[in-house]
Structure formats: structure tokens, C-alpha cells
Structure 1
Amino acid sequence: MSDTLWYTRCPVPTASGLAHSLGWLDETAQRNGLRFGVLQDAGPELAGSHYDHDLSGLIREGGNVPAIAARAQGAPTRLIGLTWIDESQAILVGPDSPVRTAAELAGLRIGIPAWAQDRPRSFPRAMALHGFTDALCLSGLTLADVTVVELSAERDPQVRTEIQRSHRITWGADELIRGEVDAIYVKGARAQEVAAQHGLRVAVDLDATETKRLRVNNGTPRPITVHQDLLDAIPEVVIGFLAQSLRAADWAAGDLAGVRTVLQRETLSGPEGVVAAYGEQFHRGLHPSLDAERVELLGVQKQFLYTHGFLDADFDLESWVAPEPLARARELVATGRVAA
């Protein structure tokens, strides 16, 4: 068992990311006799754990594609929370494109990132495939109604640069601008800024659909996972991590300006990109939960990934869930026993 509580996250709004920025996760580790480390700051020998979760002291809050794919490969992880933050998913077309509806995607060339070196690292491909699948579904279309154009992709994306990258967030923007494809899928704050910089236009706003199933993707819902060894050896640190995340979510609900300041650092975006991607109310819904709806929607994503070849094998979702740490964390917060 590691003597360090390791933490890794993606450049998006998360309660744990806020708790880290406020110094609360470090405090939790120290109270449990552990050092605190952030995987993005670690050496290359540990960086791959962001995708395969083989580091025994690791808690991860990030995209569900690597988390689900790692579990399918046999990673000894448990699911301890889920968050849902809509983050501006859209299908973009060029400034001169006549396409303005999902139905008009029929017959177009859509840009889909190529496979990475393994399934957990192929999240850009999974995101684009699911985004286009849902957009086409809005008009009764399928992937058979478009032409898939393979885009270049990072074969070995590195977690150390995931938060620092900028243009790679919009996979296919260059190809769209050059006219090599007719439409691409994008999400998030930096994607909004890139689209604005190049005059790209939203043809389908996936966030506008009221059907949550059509908004399921890599970040919706977003899982919090822990290595089984850490949960077995020091359950108190896992409970404390979740309690500090809940506490940070409570803080965020009353301080939109403060949350946006943190997000500008996390996403390397300006204030306009953060506002465009996340809107005015996202800071009120950062609390992790394991309610039935979120677990069901994660199951929708798991089935999509399995169907499209992103998983080594299927697995039982319910047995992955460990509800006790979050329940105990809520008790700590409710009774004011989370250290300030």
C-alpha cells in the first residue's frame, strides 16, 4: 500500500478539483498520515495510472471512458461517486456550411479521431462517436448515414499535459477549417474559444436536448473511482476525500465567481470560454452522488463503449459500485465533522 494519497482529475468542473485548489485534499491526506500527490505533477512512470488506474493509492475523478475501459481490463477499482455537469457538447461545421439541423448531417463527412495505443487512451474517438451518434439520433439517422473520416490522434496521450493542452481539445478543428471534413464533435470551455476564434458554427447543440440519454458521453456522468487497496487499507482517507469534495460543492454553490476563477486555471481558458461552456448554474450541481439515474446513465455509456469495441470485456456495473464511503462522507458533512 502506498504512503501517498494520489489524486488525478481532468480539466473540467469537479468538486474534488475545487477541494484540491483550496488545499483541503492535502489536509485530508496529512490527517491520515499520508503524503499528497497529484498525478499531473508526477513523473512518467506514474502518469499512465490516469488511464489504467493501477496505482494503489489513487483516487481519480475524470472521464468515464478510461475508467470503464480500465475496469473492463481488470483494474481493481471501485466506483464511489458520480457527477453530472453539462459541458457544452456540440457538432460544429464551417462558417460557410449550410447545415443547421441534425437532419442535414446526412451524407456529410464527419471527423472521428483514430484509435490511440490502447482502449483507455482512445477517449477522443469514443467521445466523437457517441456525440455524433446522439446528434444523428435526434433526426432518426445513424452512423450509416454519414461518412466517417479518420483524424490523426495522439497515440499515447500524457496526463501531465492533459490539463495544459489547448488546441487538441477540439480534435479535427484544423481539418474542418481546411475543408477535409464537414463536421466535428467538440466539448468544453477551450473548445468554445477555438470555435469562436475560427468562426466555426454550432450545427447541433447537444446540451439543448432535454433527454439526458442523448447527452451521455465521456464526462456525463463523470465517475470518481478508487483503487480497491486504498479503500481496504485506509477507508477513512477515501471517506475524507469525498467529504471534502461535498464541502467544496457546498462552497461552490454560493461563489460562482470563485469557481470560475479556479476553472480558468484548470481549463487554460478565458472567462468567456468558461461562461460559454458551463453557463450560469453549473456551480450549484457539483455534488457527487450514486443515485439510480446516474448509475443507469453510466450503464448507457458502458453499453455504448462495449458495442463499439472500446472494452476488452463486459462487466457487472452494480458490483463496481461501493456506496458506503459516500454515505459516510455525507454523515460527516451533515454533522459538521469535516475539518476546516
Structure 2
Amino acid sequence: MATNEIKATTFENTKMNVRKLDWKEVFYTNCPLISASNVDQELGWTREEFKKIGVDYNYFRYHRETDWYPHYIHNQDNLIRFGGLFPPVHVQADIRRTRLLGVTHAPKEGGCMMVRSRDDLYTMQELKGKKIGISKSMNQVKNDWWRIQEHQGIELMLRINGMTMDDIELVEFPYADDWYNDPKML
């Protein structure tokens, strides 16, 4: 399917929803990455501290009027986001009103390159001159998180094996990626 056959999601054609700002409420969101926040959410330490000052602390989707976009574009002022590196960097680049306190990186993560079982490919060097598929989100509201991960993984696997991106051809597979405010998903 060609890119122009999939409707792009833009700020102009997308209605985003967040709960009305009330500083007696603070929300969090986090990625399932290695972070202290995942321990904190299980033990409730931050919730206890906010409770001491009369502020409710809940998951950002606790109230259903908020859609999924705050996790990616930080469009909710009373949101604390823990997790992956790429959405916060993107938000900072857009000069949005947010503060990046730190980033999560897990340098020991593994990766894999899958090929069709009928292809006679067993080493990375055998990919030289071949096509490698990569996803392309048509959602322009948020960054293309999956593509960033895929591209970085492909490039690092090639580099580890003495190759560069010039040794392969990337083939894009566009998809709508438009579920963040879909009522069925909320």
C-alpha cells in the first residue's frame, strides 16, 4: 500500500482530549522499561507523598476523558512521564512546556533480525544488497517511536557486523497509527 493511500493524522484533523487542569490532581504515565518509576508504582511511594499535601496521584487514563496522546506529546500540564527516551526528546525539540529530568536507556537489550524461513540467510553479512522492511507511522502528531527503534536496531546490527546503512535498502511499510483518540480504544 502506498503512503498516499493512508490518511495522515495531523494536528489539524485530530481532536485531542485531556482532563481539565486541576492542580489537586497529578497524573503519571510510564513505559514498560527499566525505571525506578515501575518500582514506585507497585509500592506507592509517590502516591503517599502527594497524599500528604492533598493531591491525588493516578495513572493518566484514570479519568476516561483523557486520550492516549499525553503519553507521547506531553499535552497535559499535570502529567509526570517516566520511560523511554524518544518521546521526551521530540517534545523538547518542539519547545513544549515540559521538563526533561532524565532519560531511560537499557544498553544491554538484545535485538534480532527476522527473515523469511524460505530465504537462505544466516548471517548479517548476507543481507548486503538486500531490502529490509521498516514501518512508517502516518501519525504526524507524535513521533514515530516504532520506526526510531527499528532504524536504530538495524543500524546497530549492521555496524556490529562491519556494515553500514549504505549496504542495504530500507523499504517503508506505512500504517495509519491513528488509535490514540479512537473511542473504541478509550
- Range class of TM-score, shorter chain: 0.7 to 0.9
Q: Choose between structure 1 and 2: higher helix proportion.
A: 1
SS at match of 1:94: coil
Verify: 1:65 aligned to 2:62, yes or no: no
Q: 1:158 to 1:69 in 2, by over 3 A?
A: same
Note the C-alpha offset of 1:16.
0.3
Give the letter for the 2:140 counterpart: D
Provide the residue aligned with 2:73 in structure 1: 52
Provide the residue aligned with 2:171 in structure 1: 149
Contact persistence 2:85–2:105 (CA under 8 A): no
TM-score normalised to structure 2 length: 0.73
Contact persistence 2:50–2:57 (CA under 8 A): yes
Q: 1:147 to 1:2 in 2, by over 3 A?
A: same
Note the C-alpha offset of 1:69.
0.8
Q: Which of the residues 98, 115, 128 maps onto 2:120?
A: 98
Contact persistence 2:85–2:103 (CA under 8 A): no
After TM superposition, list the pairs within 5 Å mapping 1:295-334 onto structure 2.
none
Provide the residue aligned with 2:50 in structure 1: 29
CA distance in structure 1 between the partners assigned to 2:83 and 2:42 by the alignment: 16
Superposition RMSD on alpha carbons, in Å?
2.6
CA distance in structure 1 between the partners assigned to 2:84 and 2:176 by the alignment: 17
SS at match of 1:70: helix
CA distance in structure 2 between the partners assigned to 1:46 and 1:28 by the alignment: 26
Provide structure 1 residue ranges, at least 5 long, that are not aligned to the other structure. Answer: 165-340
CA distance in structure 1 between the partners assigned to 2:181 and 2:160 by the alignment: 34
Give the letter for the 1:87 counterpart: E
Provide the residue aligned with 1:82 in structure 2: 103
Note the C-alpha offset of 1:159.
9.1
Q: Which of the residues 29, 32, 43 maps onto 1:8?
A: 29
After TM superposition, list the pairs within 5 Å mapping 1:148-227 onto structure 2.
148-158=170-180
Note the C-alpha offset of 1:46.
4.5
Q: Which of the residues 99, 124, 136 maps onto 1:114?
A: 136
Note the C-alpha offset of 1:96.
4.3
CA distance in structure 2 between the partners assigned to 1:34 and 1:73 by the alignment: 29
CA distance in structure 1 between the partners assigned to 2:43 and 2:161 by the alignment: 44
Provide Cα deviations, 1:214-242, integer angstroms capped at 9, x if missing partner: xxxxxxxxxxxxxxxxxxxxxxxxxxxxx
Note the C-alpha offset of 1:111.
1.4
Contact persistence 2:84–2:103 (CA under 8 A): no
Give the letter for the 2:41 counterpart: H
Q: What fraction of aligned residue pairs are identical, expressed as a percent?
A: 27
Give the letter for the 1:61 counterpart: F
Contact persistence 1:3–1:57 (CA under 8 A): no
Contact persistence 2:138–2:177 (CA under 8 A): yes
Provide Cα deviations, 1:276-327, integer angstroms capped at 9, x if missing partner: xxxxxxxxxxxxxxxxxxxxxxxxxxxxxxxxxxxxxxxxxxxxxxxxxxxx
CA distance in structure 2 between the partners assigned to 1:7 and 1:83 by the alignment: 16
CA distance in structure 1 between the partners assigned to 2:109 and 2:86 by the alignment: 16
Note the C-alpha offset of 1:40.
3.9
Give the letter for the 2:43 counterpart: L
Note the C-alpha offset of 1:11.
2.4
Provide structure 2 residue ranges, at least 5 long, that are not aligned to the other structure. Answer: 1-21
SS at match of 2:102: strand
CA distance in structure 1 between the partners assigned to 2:65 and 2:137 by the alignment: 21
Provide the residue aligned with 1:228 in structure 2: none
Q: 1:119 to 1:99 in 2, by over 3 A?
A: farther
